[in-house]
Chains A and B, each alone.
Chain A
């Protein structure tokens, strides 16, 4: 699955866009939609089986294998840093790894020598001085050197990676939810400019200030290519800085166990040049491009609007992700599925087969209504 992407594009390149462009093709849309529905029909829970043994992810497997998300190894990796912060941490890791290998070889080597060698007095007992020297050198001096190196490098690098020097960037408030991310872009007065979910755009070369909060349980915001993780803890606000050095897309994931679907609480980072970023934010800040559509009526009738907001329309729920510009996003269900029309249909109609336990109820409007709904959501660029 991943080879097609790797072969022609680097991991940091736009790996998700090919699938995004697919979705406008009508023919494919139908195929995707029906396959997703067929998949969901197959995957609906069999009530006769005990809960304990019910497979929970089979439907997700069908969807994801049919429509690979990205196919980009290295998109979520400590070892491919794209910011100075992550670069310093990766370098530190490599240095410590090298030192650890050295210490391991020396210690095990000495153990090997100790086993093989025969010297000293008749019984082979080495002199007291020799043994003491061994213990002091290996057991005290060597670890002490390592401690000093680790502590000093740790303090210096933390100081840099956790501070906010550099060109001030956007201020983004991240709220962790079970099991998705809400991103609020704030202006200088701390007012919300735009709200989006699971996809964070960042300007290249500027240091974004990310405020981390949570209303439910503890989550942890982690985009390994960009920065170390920091927890989102109810009752407190933690700060994290992110400063991508190049444009590209990276994936992040919740790193603190937060319940049933912790495994599928992903997010996408899109780093863009400043002008592209500004244009994006400007667009995100506007109300929805479509405010009158038969699909909107379905959206309200089917109670989607109780939880979801589409700015500029009567849908103003706040429990779920803001869908004002949902069609502009690359993924669905917290960076779990590519945002295709088929996946959207599958997600709406058999939510709990894709991601069991999420707060969103599965909804099955009549086929025509569903198509109208999907048309509407497709239009929310």
Chain B
């Protein structure tokens, strides 16, 4: 379908505001894509920019809260036999910190940034299933809030974020804490799964014409890999937590040794999810880093294919190394050796990516704006964390440091270095796109420096602590073991790091009010999200474009012309559908508009999940109750009278 113009006939862009007819069309289009206002209206939003922003903000709130919990733990560990938190409270705080950072912050934040950016980057007007998107958000919001509120109400789980049985089983954990964990985590996973389906279909089917798979921005590739990983990893944690839920609520015997159950079944299922989980967080972060490296070196990426293969490779290998969390459980050495080899294999795709970035940067004299500074911080921390990762992949060494502060140090290097630093880099990079204003440069750089110093002060000493024999998850320690000084240092560092994050928060608030107005493309980036206004229009793009290369904005600039798609309606929400591989135009999808029903569905579903804690009959209620709301959500309104315009069966999502 894609035609090279023999004589490119210049037509007027409909964003050309000098043309009153175009202005009227744009106004009509914007009205079609407008999200309702008002309090009730807030619950009916379906546009991905709105939902993505909510995901991001909610995730950041959970990040701050979980970070405060971390400070509380650091205060308790400040000195030996400290009594800031008692044992029970400490264990709850530790469990909620770990669980929330993983399930309520890291994954949703990555999903949020993906939901906001991926459709813009592929040039779509919205995601494939906007209402499902909204449903996923409310599920996350309600599930996450209930989970977090369990802490002030004293009902929080206290068996650690990986919740090993039999400790978390009915015999050893009475009370509602673990039930809150199993039901709410299963529930929140539903949200991760909806987002994954959403992102996969959007990326595969809603790319603008010409954006074949080999022209997709690396970030979009990373999101695609992340989504597939969610698709295949989450079911095993859902199965595991359902088993545990049933063991606790209806007396099944999955993990009961006396009745033929197995505690290790939990560990296999949990880590089959848990290990890919880490890469689910890491992979989109690598995509963010790539985007920033490209923009701030003003060069196309060196080794595009290699990086894509590396991302896909990381995704696939990550499913084959869960046993390295179980080196000490007495599995045969033969099996563990296989997983040792598989675990260290990750070093190859990671190395390829790092060196592709170095090759891209080589001699480019990158521009040292705040996003690039955060990326440089990422390099140092992530490489250090990756190297200790190779160390703990070694069976004999891991048998010493497993479940010690060495591992605590390692995974904070990987997760904060590998995910939080890129996320902050991304925040500084896309802040102008999301808000229309630049983020403060000076404060942006200083906050990075302070966070970097604080981070290393906090976590570097933990390597040493682990080697000195300090196990993880201890609420206190004896004075004579000599761990006091390094713990004091780590606690001091944690407050420096907190100050760094505080500076980011201040920077965001100040920049929102008085940041410099950004314009469409302040960094001279090459990907499509910068081809629309900042913040994006309701319809994302006044006209959908057609692309020829991987860096369309730079080409448009060079050739001083661009190709577009015409013929989309201005009165209903339309976006173009293309073929899977080559992105040839195929059809036009009509997207559904705002509705309250996803919110109602999420509320009904959350009542049912919460009810499960008290009675298994809520399962039956849940199936029928949720089904009823789904019918209302999908139902075609007044189809007999209006056969052409409103085709909600197609638009149902």
Residues of B within 8 A of A328 (CB): none
Any B CB within 8 A of the CB of A255 = yes
Contact of A220 among B158, B328, B356, B379 (CB under 8 A): B328
Q: How far, in Å, is A293 (CB) from chain B's closest CB?
A: 32
- Type the 1/0 row for B385-407, where 1 means its CB is closer than 8 Å to any CB of A: 00110110111111111111000
Residues of A within 8 A of B167 (CB): 217-218, 257-259
Any B CB within 8 A of the CB of A162 = yes
Contact indicator B355/A96 (Cβ below 8 Å): no
Residues of A within 8 A of B480 (CB): 1-2, 68-73, 75
Q: A93-B391, A126-B362, A218-B263 given as contacts; is B468 within 8 A of A356 (CB)? A: no
Contact indicator A158/B337 (Cβ below 8 Å): yes
Contact of A100 among B350, B387, B399 (CB under 8 A): B387
Contact of A154 among B164, B337, B400 (CB under 8 A): B337
Any A CB within 8 A of the CB of B352 = yes
Query: Quick check: which of B199-207, B298-306, B436-444, B547-555 contacts chain A, the rest being far away?
Result: B298-306
Query: Quick check: which of A53-61, A186-194, A359-367 contacts chain B, the rest being far away?
Result: A53-61
Contact indicator B383/A104 (Cβ below 8 Å): yes
Query: Quick check: which of A23-31, A134-142, A308-316, A371-379 contacts chain B, the rest being far away?
Result: A134-142
Contact indicator A217/B172 (Cβ below 8 Å): yes
Q: A68-B479, A158-B333 given as contacts; is B358 within 8 A of A134 (CB)? A: yes
Residues of A within 8 A of B264 (CB): 233, 236
Closest to B152 in A: A52
Residues of B within 8 A of A154 (CB): 337, 340, 394-397
Contact indicator B473/A257 (Cβ below 8 Å): yes
Contact indicator A218/B166 (Cβ below 8 Å): yes
Any A CB within 8 A of the CB of B3 = no
Closest to A113 in B: B362
Any B CB within 8 A of the CB of A47 = no
Residues of A within 8 A of B358 (CB): 107, 110-111, 114, 134, 138
CA separation between A68 and B80, bound complex, in Å?
Answer: 12
Contact indicator B359/A131 (Cβ below 8 Å): yes
Chain B interface residue count, CB cutoff 8 Å, equals 90
Any B CB within 8 A of the CB of A238 = yes
Contact indicator B396/A88 (Cβ below 8 Å): yes
CA separation between A266 and B83, bound complex, in Å?
Answer: 20
Q: How far, in Å, is B551 (CB) from chain A's closest CB?
A: 14
Residues of B within 8 A of A254 (CB): 471
Residues of A within 8 A of B623 (CB): none
Q: A154-B340, A255-B404 given as contacts; is B83 within 8 A of A58 (CB)? A: yes
Q: A1-B480, A140-B351 given as contacts; is B394 within 8 A of A150 (CB)? A: yes
Residues of B within 8 A of A110 (CB): 358
CA separation between A142 and B394, bound complex, in Å?
Answer: 17
Contact indicator B341/A134 (Cβ below 8 Å): no
CA separation between A93 and B182, bound complex, in Å?
Answer: 37
Closest to B154 in A: A52
Q: A100-B391, A125-B363, A357-B87 given as contacts; is B399 within 8 A of A230 (CB)? A: yes
Interface residues of B in 270-306 (CB under 8 A from A): 299, 302-303, 306
CA separation between A73 and B379, bound complex, in Å?
Answer: 35
Q: A68-B480, A154-B396, A263-B476 given as contacts; is B83 within 8 A of A231 (CB)? A: no
Contact of B481 among A56, A75, A178 (CB under 8 A): A75
Residues of A within 8 A of B482 (CB): 2, 73-74
Any B CB within 8 A of the CB of A351 = no
Any A CB within 8 A of the CB of B477 = yes
Any B CB within 8 A of the CB of A196 = no
Contact indicator B262/A235 (Cβ below 8 Å): yes
Residues of A within 8 A of B214 (CB): none
Closest to B264 in A: A233
Contact indicator B166/A257 (Cβ below 8 Å): no
CA separation between A76 and B465, bound complex, in Å?
Answer: 11
Contact indicator B87/A356 (Cβ below 8 Å): yes
CA separation between A350 and B595, bound complex, in Å?
Answer: 61
Contact of B400 among A115, A147, A224 (CB under 8 A): A224
Residues of A within 8 A of B351 (CB): 138-140, 142-143
CA separation between A358 and B393, bound complex, in Å?
Answer: 35
Closest to B340 in A: A154
Contact indicator A143/B348 (Cβ below 8 Å): yes
Q: How far, in Å, is B367 (CB) from chain A's closest CB?
A: 11
Closest to A225 in B: B469
Query: Quick check: which of A34-42, A116-124, A201-209, A341-349 contacts chain B, the rest being far away?
Result: A116-124
Residues of B within 8 A of A171 (CB): none
CA separation between A92 and B402, bound complex, in Å?
Answer: 15
Residues of A within 8 A of B393 (CB): 150
Q: How far, in Å, is B301 (CB) from chain A's closest CB?
A: 11
- Type the 1/0 row for B297-325, where 1 means its CB is closer than 8 Å to any CB of A: 00100110010000000000000000000
Residues of A within 8 A of B365 (CB): 115, 118, 124
Q: A65-B81, A264-B476 given as contacts; is B328 within 8 A of A231 (CB)? A: yes
> Which are the 4 A-B pairs with shortest beta-carbon distances?
A228-B399, A56-B86, A73-B482, A235-B257
Q: Which residues of A contact B (CB under 8 A)?
A: 1-2, 51-58, 60-61, 64-65, 68-79, 86, 88-90, 92-93, 96-97, 100, 103-104, 107-108, 110-111, 113-115, 117-120, 123-126, 130-132, 134-135, 137-140, 142-144, 146-147, 150-151, 153-155, 157-159, 161-162, 178, 212, 216-218, 220, 222, 224, 228-231, 233-236, 238-239, 251, 253-264, 266, 336, 356-357
